Structures are given as structure tokens and as C-alpha cells.
Amino acid sequence: MQRYFCKGKKGNEFILEKSDYFHIEKVMRMKEKDQIEVVYNKDVYLCELNNFHVFQLEKLDKKEQIEPEISLIIPLLKEQKMDYILQKATELGVTRIIPTVMERSIIKVTEEKEEKKLIRWTKICKEASEQSMRTQIPIITKIHHFQDFQNLEGVKFICSTREKENNIKKLLTKHKNCDKMYIVVGPEGGLSEKEEANLVKMGFVPVSLGTRILRVETVPLFLLSIINYQNME
Amino acid sequence: MQRYFCKGKKGNEFILEKSDYFHIEKVMRMKEKDQIEVVYNKDVYLCELNNFHVFQLEKLDKKEQIEPEISLIIPLLKEQKMDYILQKATELGVTRIIPTVMERSIIKVTEEKEEKKLIRWTKICKEASEQSMRTQIPIITKIHHFQDFQNLEGVKFICSTREKENNIKKLLTKHKNCDKMYIVVGPEGGLSEKEEANLVKMGFVPVSLGTRILRVETVPLFLLSIINYQNME
């Protein structure tokens, strides 16, 4: 069933985005009494269309497995790669995406452009969340710098091409059932030695992802896939 | 270092594809005595350019971890999704990709078009293999039908949305260190009950991929990621 995230509720009616009403009427071509699922405060409701207003029929018992809470710290990338990471990471259950300025990233985002980008990125994650039937939309934060990551609580690690001993499997096995993770993915060309050293000072652990050479946009998928796998019963 | 797969060797000279010579000269703008890596019969050689001919300097000791041998049986998909699977699956170490006619796949490929497609698909895998420093290019087979998969040797399973008990983790744990896998990924809308039943008769085991709802093009990446992870030391 088609699922939408809603921004508010008036009595028994859920208030969706304009674009969602358009999607329901023009794209999905729905009719009177057609049913959709609406997510409100992470709860899922079975709803019915009435003159293209959305009314609650019943609350459904659909919960998403949201542990651990995963924050991806990623470089600024070309639009296509960025969109791709946002969409796939959402599908694979990411909690938070933190675009971060990194030395070897060639992409710059000016302050004027940042707000536009954030709106666009959030829209991509909302749509991906609806398609993959999530009950929460990942948070895309404003653009950060590494110095913002002092004193974060949780398991913190860097995907490092320098690290040879400690690999992701050892780390995830050690921190099984942790409830919070911060993961740094470097740009093409990797993090600079200085960046990596500073992150280590802040308590981030460098880990190898194994012998395969992965593109930047593949790394978040690889990580989220194995974290999902790790947490499977 | 830039890596190319070569099609032949004459004494000390490696013979590349025309497009590779073009890439070396016009795209990479390489000069006399510049060095590249050439893969020949799964071995890697350090080479030097001499008047845009490629001459062996020394054989390098670079081996790719190629176990287990993974064959992906995938539906015919829209070009963009197909390209995407080919590229990412190559990056993540797939051995063989078997495009297969499936009931609910909307894409049809005529015999005349099949050859063109295969050339295109193979080119994508060659380039992805070079970029991800593999020592072998995945094999893209001609288009198959399910009845071709009688009597395959190895661990054979279906990614099934119907299966609730047996999941991918149980299966991979059970078959740790297996050397051959055949994995069926269904189209949008999944395999039909009939298709799944027939595959089960042929010895394919249905497994669940967990609670996340993944797009068809995400499934091969998810699978290859966790198989790489499973085989990590």
C-alpha cells in the first residue's frame, strides 16, 4: 500500500504535503475511499480518502527496527553520487546523514546554496522513506566541519585505507548491540593524514573495510548492509 | 595506478583494446615511460609506456580473493538499474551475472538486441573491474530461462519475500566457506509463486533478507556486501 509521511493532524484528518496530495490524485490516480498508510510520529495509520482528504481508519501495529542509531558522516559529493547515497542509505535504515567539509573533497557549497541543497536532500530522503516503508525519515543535518565532532557519545569509527590490522568485522563484533554509531566515510582520495589523526584524537577508531576497492558512494551501502546483517536474528 | 585488462601478449608487449590506448593517451594524458598495471590471465604486471605501446616491467604479486564464486541470477531491468547492478556487483566481487527472463519483469530483449546488450554490459563490467582493481572481469552470460538452472552444483538460494523463517544469516552461517553460490534476485513485484515453487524443486532454498524493504537494484549490493563481510577474517 502507498505510504506517506504527514506533517500534522486535525482531529481525525491527517495533513499531508501539497506534493503528496498531488501525488495521490494525479500520479497514483486514487479514487474516493481508496486506502493509504500515513506515518505520524513514527506510528503507522491505515487511512481512507474522502474528497481527497485523508482520514484515519485505524492505527496499525507496524514498527521499524531502529537500533542501532546510525549517523553517517560523509563528504560533499557531486549531485548524482550524493542523491544516490541519500536514497540507498535511507532504504538501508540510516538515522542521520551529516554532510561534512573534507580536505580532499572537490565540491564546495556556499551558504546561499546550502539551504536549497538541504531542502532537496530532505525531499529525496522523504520519498525514499515512503518507498521503503520506513516509519522515520533520516535527518540530514546542515553542513559540518570535523571540529564539530568533539565529545560524541557512541561507537565512533573511520573507514580508513591506512588501517591494516583492525577491520570492520572485528569492530562490529566487539560492539554488538551498541545503540549509537558515528561512521566517517572519506572522499575520493581518502581523508588526509591530518584529518584522520584529529579524528583519532576525538576518539574515532580507524577500521579497514577489507580488500575490495570500493567507490565512495558504495561505502555507505556496504556499511549499512553489514550492520543490518549483524543485527539480524 | 591505472589498471587495464589486456587481451593478448606479444613477447614483452601487452596488447590492449583500442579504447584503452585512447584512454591512456587522450583521457589520462599519459607520457613516455609512464607506468600502468596490466592484468593478463588474472596476473597483474607493472608496465611502462613506450611510444604508446605497453611493455612489461615486472610481474606483481597481487591476487584477488575470489572465493566464493558467486553467480547472480537477476531479472531484465531498465537500462539504468541494470548498469547500476553490473557496476556495483563488479565492485563487490561478483563472479558471474546471469540475466534471466522472469514472469513479472516488464523488460523484453529481442534476439537481435541481445548481442548489443551483452557487448554493452561486458564493457561496463570491464571498466568497473579496472577501477576497482580486480584481476578478473565478471562473466555476463546470455539471457537465460529458469529451466536452464537444473542440476547446478553449489549453494543455491532465492531472495524471497514469502519466506518468514529461514533468513540469509542462517543460510550463510550454515554454508560458511562454501566455494560456489547461485543467488536468484526477483524483479519488482517478486517472483511468481509458480516460479518460486519450480526453483525449490530444482534445489533452490528461499531465504528472507530481513525486515527492510529494498529495491531490486539494491538487493545484489546488499547480498555481496554481507558475503564479503561473512568471509572477512
Burial B106-136 (b: 16+ CB within 10 A, else e): eeeeeeeeeeebbeebbebbbbbbbebbbbe
Count of domains observed in chain A? 2
- Chain B, 82-111: which have a CB under 8 Å from a chain A CB? 88, 91-93
Question: Tell me: the pLDDT tens digits for B79-89?
Answer: 999 999 999 99
Asked if residue A42 and residue A113 are part of one domain, the reply reads no
| B233 in reach of chain A (CB within 8 A) | yes
B67 pLDDT higher than 80: no
- Nearest of B174, B170, B185, B167 to residue B224 by alpha carbon: B185
Percent helix, strand, coil in chain B, to 5, is: 35, 25, 40
Asked if residue B224 and residue B135 are part of one domain, the reply reads yes
Nearest-CA residue of chain B relative to A131? B213
Domain boundary among A60, A88, A106: A60
Asked if residue A129 and residue A56 are part of one domain, the reply reads no
- Position B114, amino acid: E
Query: Which CATH number belongs to the domain containing residue B31 in this structure?
Result: 2.40.240.20
Domain boundary among B18, B40, B60: B60
Side-chain-facing half-sphere of A104: CA atoms under 13 Å: 13
Q: Which domain holds residue A159?
A: 69-231
Asked if residue A130 and residue A17 are part of one domain, the reply reads no
| B69 in reach of chain A (CB within 8 A) | no
- Structural contact between residues A210 and B232, judged by C-beta atoms closer than 8 angstroms: yes
Q: Where are the alpha helices (DSSP H) in chain B?
A: 18-22, 79-91, 111-131, 168-174, 193-201, 219-230
* Sequence-distant (≥ 6) Cβ neighbours of residue A153 within 8 angstroms: A180
Asked if residue A153 and residue A217 are part of one domain, the reply reads yes
- Nearest of A77, A176, A88 to residue A125 by alpha carbon: A88
| SS3 of residue B204 by DSSP | coil
- Position B148, amino acid: D
A104 pLDDT higher than 90: yes
**Grid cell at residue B68:** 566464493
Question: Tell me: the pLDDT tens digits for B134-192?
Answer: 999 999 999 999 999 999 999 999 999 999 899 999 999 999 888 999 999 999 999 99
**Grid cell at residue B121:** 554490459
Domain boundary among A60, A87, A108: A60
- Chain A, 180-209: which have a CB under 8 Å from a chain B CB? none
Q: What is the pLDDT of residue A95?
A: 96
Asked if residue A114 and residue A25 are part of one domain, the reply reads no
- Structural contact between residues A28 and A131, judged by C-beta atoms closer than 8 angstroms: no
- Position B190, amino acid: G
Side-chain-facing half-sphere of B25: CA atoms under 13 Å: 12
- Structural contact between residues A39 and A51, judged by C-beta atoms closer than 8 angstroms: no
Asked if residue A46 and residue A20 are part of one domain, the reply reads yes
Work out the average pLDDT over B192-217. 95
Query: Which CATH number belongs to the domain containing residue B143 in this structure?
Result: 3.40.1280.10
Question: Tell me: the pLDDT tens digits for A6-60?
Answer: 989 999 999 999 989 999 998 889 999 999 999 998 889 999 999 889 999 999 9
Q: Torsions phi, psi of A44, nearest 5? A: -110, 130
- Structural contact between residues A207 and A157, judged by C-beta atoms closer than 8 angstroms: yes
Q: A60 to chain B, minimum CA–CA distance in Å?
A: 16
Share of chain A above pLDDT 90, in %: 76
| A173 in reach of chain B (CB within 8 A) | no
Asked if residue A97 and residue A34 are part of one domain, the reply reads no
Residue A1 binned pLDDT confidence (cut-offs 50, 70, 90): confident
Which residue has better confidence, A233 or A189? A189
Asked if residue B55 and residue B121 are part of one domain, the reply reads no
What does the mean pLDDT of chain B come to? Answer: 93
| Prediction ipTM score | 0.86
Other CB atoms within 10 A of residue B78 CB: 14
| Rounded Cα–Cα distance for residues B60 and A80 (Å) | 35
Asked if residue B196 and residue B222 are part of one domain, the reply reads yes
Q: What is the pLDDT of residue A56?
A: 93
Cβ pair B222:A218 closer than 8 A: no
Query: In chain A, which residues have their Cβ closer than 8 Å to the Cβ of B226?
Result: 225-226, 229
Provide the CA A29 distance to its chain's centre, in angstroms: 29
Asked if residue A214 and residue A120 are part of one domain, the reply reads yes
Q: B49 to chain A, minimum CA–CA distance in Å?
A: 25
| Rounded Cα–Cα distance for residues B133 and B214 (Å) | 28
Cβ pair A215:B131 closer than 8 A: yes
Asked if residue A177 and residue A80 are part of one domain, the reply reads yes
